[in-house]
Structure 1
Amino acid sequence: MTRPLANDLYGRHRAVLPDWLALYYDEPIEITHGEGRHVWDAAGNRYLDFFGGILTTMTAHALPEVTKAVSEQAGRIIHSSTLYLNRPMVELAERIAALSGIPDARVFFTTSGTEANDTALMLATAYRGSNQILAMRNSYHGRSFSTVSITGNRGWSPTGLSPLQTLYVHGGVRNRGPYAGLTDERFIEACVADLEDLLGHTRTPAALIAEPVQGVGGFTAPPDGLYAAFREVLDRHGILWISDEVQTGWGRTGEHFWGWQAHGENGPPDILTFAKGIGNGMSIGGVVARADIMNCLDANSISTFGGSPVTMAAGLANLSYLLEHDLQGNARRVGGLLIERLRAIGAGVDSVREVRGRGLMIGIELIKPSTGQAAPGTASAVLEAAREGGLLIGKGGGHNTSVLRIAPPLSLTVAEAEEGAAILEQALRGA
């Protein structure tokens, strides 16, 4: 692997963009093009992409079906806003409403997951007449003023000021905290008891918002059934359940199309948010909710860019490809093989505390072997070593970003999974 070409792009970046706009790598790279599961940088280096632009390139880079749909739609009309009828938007909304599992569903399109969660919070608080929100510890829901205020991860919450009163609940992280040593059944019982106790000391919140698998938090998840158990409590109190599927949707976890389905004994959520993968790189986010919730707003609203004809055309083509090629099944099969391969590697590396995940959503938690404490320095070193070996991965975690995040396009092949695992093994052992 050659080093990135020397140029002044990084200096120009630093001169005009915010200091808090994070960049990976000691020598940041410029990605110029991609194909399939690979991308190339400005120096001509080729990388196997195991992060997909933060779980966004869901099917493949430069997928012909999507690029053709974008090109053809752009040749007709690029923009009109939601003030006019929009055939691609209606068609994609129909498909997502049917797939959501929510009865009498309505869909509102946004341009990002942040905006989707922001809209869900507005709907829930307006519908319930309360500005209190339940959120999970170690969570992440976006970078807007309202979503930062419900993010339970200090590393991604730059202000304590908030339009909402947020109460944080146990349960999003299985292997840390006061209940980590319990069995799954007792863990759920303890978290439900904590929720019940919390509700006994506050006014009734509008909603609980939760990621079925916490993304930025390091791909952590509770035992299956936790949110179903929570739902029984929420329903008794008239509290809505918002499932943040920005990272878990569209079959990435393999076993389910939506993350909430691992906790679906009591039916679908009241509100579901999505983004990232549906556009395969195009800016699409959205909210699905029951009609009575979606229609509760008593003021006019539009979206200038949400539901753009071009992004909707991309979403339709991408969703069709995903379903027709059973990429959820591929995520289950190839992801299962990759997880087992990584667990075998981790068993021989002292700094690996845990390999966890579902489908093609995998986290490798790193620690300092001498103390058992989080090891963000080791995570950064592995990230660099993997890049040197030709592999792009991500990192996250609620304990100083000490978790490697692996989320390739869902069309990943067995051979590519093995190639990536071999590079990761070398990087982990070297670090």
Structure 2
Amino acid sequence: MSHIPDKRKPSSSIPGGTPYKRSRVSYADNDNEEYASQSLAAMTHERPRNNPLYGQKSAFPGLDVDAEGELFYGPAEDGLEYLRMVRSEANSLPLLFTAPKTQTTETQTIQTEQTTTQAQVNDTCEESTHHEDHEGTYVDGVFVARSTPAAPPTSPPAAYPEAQQSYYTLLHHRFLLLRSILKCTPPPTSIPLLDDSHPISLPRHSKIARKEWRHLLLSVDPQTVQLACMDMESILGVLGIMARLMSENVRSGDIVRVRRIGAWAWGLLGKCREVGQLGTEEVGEIRDLGKRAVKILGKMREDERAVQEEDQESVDDEDQDEERVGEQIGETGTADSEQAASAESEAPDHDMKDAGAENTTDELEAAKARLQAKIQGNVDEDSQAQTHSDTEENPDDVAMQTRAMLDMIITVVGEYYGQRDLLEAREIWQSI
């Protein structure tokens, strides 16, 4: 009978372990402790703490770690340590700084008070001189605004005379009424009554249509039904043609054409939509019309100033001519009197005196005849000029109508289409 030996298992009670396999040293406990400390530090870094003195929460959570109880003076290895060093230095300072009290005598106190008072007076004078617009004072960390005395309400001075303001108010109401009328749909029976001289459209790229509209603006008055039927594109196209015609009408001096162009401008601007419903290019075309009116008005002012300067120069020249003629006449009269006196003293008889008197009388008669002829010629010229002016338009009326038309265009474009900078070019009415 064979004997099978039993397998022996290594005893775990043998100290030192098995001789065949070395036991591994476990660092699990140490790792757990380090992980726990790191987690605690991370939680501390992630949780900002409130300052116990000011109650303010820190913007850098890790800045408060290991900062209590000791001061950190560097060296700083990173940005966080630099901030910790600055905070540590700030924490080492007292919260309130007080200056030590000095022992002074009564005389020194009086002198100090006088010096302080004088310095305050000087500072006040200097501030009032150089800083008159100072709005307040800074006392004990508080800015106190200066109290302003209540001034009595005063109405701002009017930029325009009362009559001109009334005119602009009436123009405002009339323009709003025109807008409301042109927004309405015209009766169907009135549209077919429009003839060929009152078209309701303008093809932008048609040269023939533009040429026809150019002729109509100068020869035909607008109609309300015609304007009400026109679309916005046609309105802007006709405004562009009319803007280029204004300079020609002003130079022509025809009061009928000036009034007709004013009527077209009034109706076309009233048909335009409000500025909030227009595009940038559309508003730009309306602004071009206003700018052209401003340019023409400025040109008229320059021409008037040039005419006034020429008139003044001509008046000065006439005065100088009259002075020279008077001096020559005075010198001639003096010479004649001297010659007559010498002739009388040297004449041996009365015949020479009679001959000199007759010559003087003849010269006076000839001068009188020339003067009467000159006066008669001036009268004839005045009568001819009066007759000529009766047959033509008065230039003053034409200029007044032109100025009224340009002022209306500038006012409407500036007030109702957002171009208020053009309003500065309007003229201020002068009392007649």
TM bracket (short chain):
under 0.3
Structure whose CA Rg is larger: 2
- Relative contact order (alpha carbons < 8 A, sep ≥ 6): 1 or 2 greater? 1
TM-score, normalising length: structure 1: 0.19
**Higher strand proportion:** 1
TM-score, normalising length: structure 2: 0.19
**Higher helix proportion:** 2
